[in-house]
Amino acid sequence: NKVETKVQLTHKPSGIVIVCSIERSQLANKEHAMKMLKSRLYQIEVDKRNEKRDEIESSKMKIDFGSQIRNYVLHPYKLIKDARTGVERTDVQNVLDGDLDDYIKAFLMGQGLETN
């Protein structure tokens, strides 16, 4: 007579059921079943992360000509215009040095967020 022992593992939070009867030893079957359960749980977690990443990636704009945020004109006149909010400034050097508060405030106000 051939003695076969199977092991059945149930992961209650996810409802995954693993049945293993590869080996003749119940201990070896249990080890195989645990490996299979771990790999299936890992794959579910990877799929969740990929789905979340794809959701974020789909909301991004394409990087094309015309999709820039600000236009910088330095010659023949000096002007910096924000394409999203329409804010224009002629003090180019201050903006190039990092003074972007007007642009940030206008963008946040347009999003319905307030600044202090």
Q: What pLDDT, on the 0 to 100 scale, is given for residue 16?
A: 94
| Per-residue tokens: 8 | 């059945």
pLDDT digit string, tens, across residues 91-115: 999 999 999 999 999 989 887 776 5
Q: What is the pLDDT along the chain (116 residues), one digit of tens a residue?
A: 566 788 999 999 999 999 998 888 889 999 999 999 999 999 999 999 999 999 998 888 778 877 788 889 998 999 999 988 889 999 999 999 999 999 999 989 887 776 55
Which residue do the tokens 């119940």 mark? 26
Note if the pTM is more than 0.85: no
Domain boundaries, the chain: 7-59, 70-110
Q: What pLDDT, on the 0 to 100 scale, is given for residue 87?
A: 92
